[in-house]
Amino acid sequence: MGDSITEAWVGTGYGSPTPRAEGVPAVLNETFARHWPPTPLVLAISGDQTQHVLWRVAQGEVSKAMARDPQLLVSLLIGTNNLGHGHSPEATGKGVLAVARSLLSLTRGKLLINALLPRGDSPDPKLCPPRCNHAGQPYTSFGPAVRKVNALVAAAMPSLEGDYPGRVGYVDCGAPFVNHLYGNANSDMGDEEVKIELMPDRLHPNAQGQRLMAHCIGDALRKLDRR
């Protein structure tokens, strides 16, 4: 469940085929579908933010049969579009947790919350104000905001686990996308925060990147499923 990064699993963006999702449905079939046949249900809409997913859940996107199923496994990745539209990390983190609690209270299954992936595009300068740095200037990177959201959500996990024991997990699959040469003036890739070979548009993983994500998420789901 999520936004365009998750919608790519079915090869579309905003419901239409998109070149950036080329090869991604095959990755879904090679990974998740093999372990959880026939094919996992993808509930994702490009551009969605946390409040949109809350609305979708409230309007019945999770069917009654799904909600009653104790074997239900949900992988949630949402929130990066909140940052892209100028929401603060604090508000975004609260939104992610609101979605998580909504899903956990509605269903009998288990929920895996994904950390936001790193992104290498730049915030829109028009977002400042109100989203400005300490010097009153526009942010030039989403990195600090992404890390702040992830830290806030991770810090809330003990509370979630206490309220929903054995039913919730957290995973950060972002490490493979980080370009560790970022800031190195002697490298041709020193200006890139993410690995372009995995995230060509600096936001959406390609098929190779989605394969790395699938293995990471799959391992975390299997671990959660054994609880």
- pLDDT (mean) for 57-63: 97
CA distance 64 to 120: 39
Mean pLDDT of 191-210: 97
Which pLDDT belongs to residue 170? 99
In whole angstroms, give the CA distance from residue 73 to residue 168.
Answer: 10
Residues 93-127 pLDDT 10s: 999 999 999 999 999 999 999 999 999 998 998 88
Q: Where along the chain do its domains lie? A: 4-225
CATH number of 4-225: 3.40.50.1110
Arithmetic mean of pLDDT over the chain: 96
Angle at 99 between CA 89 and CA 116, to 5 degrees: 45
**Quick check: 81 and 68 in contact, CB under 8 A?**
no
Q: Is the pLDDT of residue 131 over 90?
A: no
Contacts of 9 (CB under 8 A, 6+ apart): 21, 24, 25, 27, 28, 40, 42, 44, 210
Please say if the pLDDT value at position 200 is more than 80. yes
pLDDT of residue 126: 87
Q: 1, exposed or middle or buried, with CB in 10 Å at 0-12, 13-18, 19+?
A: buried
Distance CA 160, CA 123 (A): 31
Statement: residue 225 has pLDDT above 80:
yes
**Stretch 45-65: mean pLDDT:** 98
pLDDT at 214: 98
Q: Say what the alpha-carbon torsion angle 8, 150, 66, 81 is, to the nearest 10 degrees.
A: -40
